[in-house]
Amino acid sequence: MITRILYDEEKADYNRVIKHPVQTWEWGDFQITQGHKVYRLGVFDDNQIISAYSVSFHQIPKTNYSIGTVLRGPEITADTITNIKKIAIDENAVFVKFEPDIYQKTFDTNNNPSTQTESIHFPDLEISPKVAFYPYSYVIDLTKSEDELLAAMHSKTRYNIKVANRYGVKIEENSTDAGFEIYLKLLFDTTKRQGFYLHSENYHRQLWKTLKSTSMSHIMLASYQGKVLSAFMLFTLKDKLFYPYGASLDTNREVMAPTLLMWECIKYGRSLGLKTFDMWGSLGPDAKEKEIGYGFHRFKQGYGGQLVQFVGTFDLVVNPMLYKIYNLIDKYRWKLLHFKASVFR
C-alpha cells in the first residue's frame, strides 16, 4: 500500500471513501476560504483508493507556526502518523490533533457499556487536553419504523411532539439562501441569549456558500402563526444524517417547536433512505444537570438514540516546548471567550 497527496482530478474518488462531512473535499474547500491549508491524502492498494483523509493546518496568528487537525477521519495507523508528521514539519506545525470517527464504546438503554473496542496506543501520540468535537453522541437507527422510533423516545418527548401538532406548528425544508438567512439570524440570537461561543458570521456564510451547491446541507424550519421559531442545519452524507447546528427563539416555547422539528428531521432522514442519524455530540453517560451543555444533551437524549463514545482525541506533538506554551495560553484564552460571551449576552 502507498499513501500520497491527491490531485484535484481525484475528488470523486476521495469523496467515495470518506464517511464524515468534515472530511469531504468540499469541507476542505471551505477550510481554504478560512485561510487554512489543506492536504488530501489517499491510501492505495494495487492502484485502487481504499481510504482517505484530510489534514488542515491553521496558522497561529502573528507567528510562523501552525496547528494541524485530522477531525472525524479514519482509523489511525503507523503509516498515517508517519505521513502526516512529514507534512507537519514542512508546515512548521506545533502539533496535529486527531479525532477518528470510530466508536470506542456503545451504551445500552441503562447507560451501561454494551460494546468496546481497543484503545489507541501509539508512542508518538499524546492524549489531548482539549477536544474539538464532543467525545460522545447519540445515534438514531433510521431503519426502524416510525412506531418503533416513537416507542424508543422518552415519554415527555412524545408528549411534546403531540403538543406541537395540536398548536399547528408547521415544518418545512427551505434549503435556499432565504432559508439560510432565517436560520443564521436565529443561530446568533440563540448564541447571544445563552452565552455560548460561536464562529463568526463570515464563517457560517462561507460554509453555506461552499456547501449549498452540494446535496449535503439542508435547512429545516419550524413556524407558528407565520413566525419561524426554530431552525436546524442538517448534513447528509452517503447513508447518514447529521445535526451540526440548531437554533430557537425564546418566545412561544409552550408550542414545543424544536421538539417537533427534530422529529420531522428524523422522518426526513427516513424518507431519504438514510440508515443512521448522528446528532453531532452530547455529554457522557454520567451527565450532570449543572454541566455546560446539559440542556442540549437532555433534548437529544429524549429521542431514544444509542449513546456512543468515540475513541478519543490525540495530539501528534512536533514541537514539545511550544506545545506546552500553546496549551497554557489556549486554556486561558477560552476562559476569556466564555466570560465575554456570558457578560455581553
Task: Judge whether 112 lies within some domain.
Answer: no
- For the record, the C-alpha cell of 145 comes out as 419504523
Residues 170, 276 within the same domain? yes
Q: Which are the contacts of 158, defined by CB distance < 8 A and separation ≥ 6? A: 150
Residue 110 in domain? no
**Together in a domain, 297 and 327:** no
Give the C-alpha separation, 175 to 212, whole Å: 8
Sheet holding 66-73, edge to edge: 2-5, 37-45, 48-59, 66-73, 93-100, 314-317, 125-127
Q: Going by C-beta distance under 8 Å and a sequence separation of 6 or more, which residues neighbour residue 113?
A: 105, 106, 107
Longest CA–CA separation in the chain, Å: 61
Determine the pLDDT at residue 195: 61
SS3 23: helix
Dihedral, CA of residue 140, residue 136, residue 209 and residue 238, to nearest 10: -40
Q: State whether 224 and 126 are in the same domain.
A: no
179 lies in some domain: yes
pLDDT of residue 234: 98
Query: How many structural domains are present in the chain?
Result: 2
| Distance between CA atoms of residues 118 and 127, nearest Å | 15
Question: What's the grid cell of residue 197?
Answer: 461561543
Taking the C-alpha atoms of residue 319 and residue 93, their distance in angstroms, rounded to an integer, is: 8
Shared domain check, 298 and 217 = yes
pLDDT at 345 over 50: no
Per-chain mean pLDDT for the chain: 93
What is the distance between the alpha carbons of residues 248 and 260, in angstroms, rounded to a whole number? 12
Rounded Cα gap, residues 315 and 326, in angstroms? 13
Nearest CA to 138 among 160, 112, 107, 114? 107
Check residue 197 and give its pLDDT. 65
pLDDT surpassing 60 at residue 337: no
Same domain for 94 and 155, yes or no, is: no
pTM of the model: 0.93
Same structural domain for residues 125 and 149?
no
Domain span at residue 239 reads 139-308
* Model pLDDT, residue 189: 85
Residue 61 in any domain: the answer is yes
- Whether 77 is covered by a domain: the verdict is yes
What is the arithmetic mean of pLDDT over 280-294?
94
> Which DSSP string do the residues of 1-18 spell out, in sequence order?
-EEEEPPGGGHHHHHHH-
- Residue 340 — pLDDT band, cuts 50, 70, 90? low
pLDDT of residue 191: 73
Say what the pLDDT of residue 331 is: 81
Return d(Cα 207, Cα 214) in angstroms, integer. Answer: 12
Say yes or no: 14 and 149 in one domain: no
**pLDDT given for residue 338 in this prediction:** 54
Residues 76 and 176 placed together within one structural domain of the fold: no
Nearest Cα to Cα of residue 74 among 51, 96, 95: 51
Q: Would you put residue 100 in left (φ > 0), alpha (ψ -120 to 50) or beta? A: beta
Please check whether residues 259 and 157 belong to one and the same domain.
Answer: yes
Is residue 109 one of the residues assigned to a domain? no
Residue 38 sits in a domain whose CATH number is: 3.40.630.30
* Nearest by Cα to 307 from 115, 177, 163, 167: 115
Q: Looking at the domain assignment, is residue 84 inside a domain?
A: yes
- Which residue type is seen at 102? I
**DSSP label at residue 313:** -
Q: Average of pLDDT values for 217-230? A: 98
- Per-residue model confidence as pLDDT tens digits over 107-161: 998 888 888 887 888 999 999 999 999 999 999 999 999 999 999 999 999 999 9
Residue 343 confidence (pLDDT) above 50: no
Q: Do 71 and 202 lie in a common domain? A: no
pLDDT at position 115 is 81
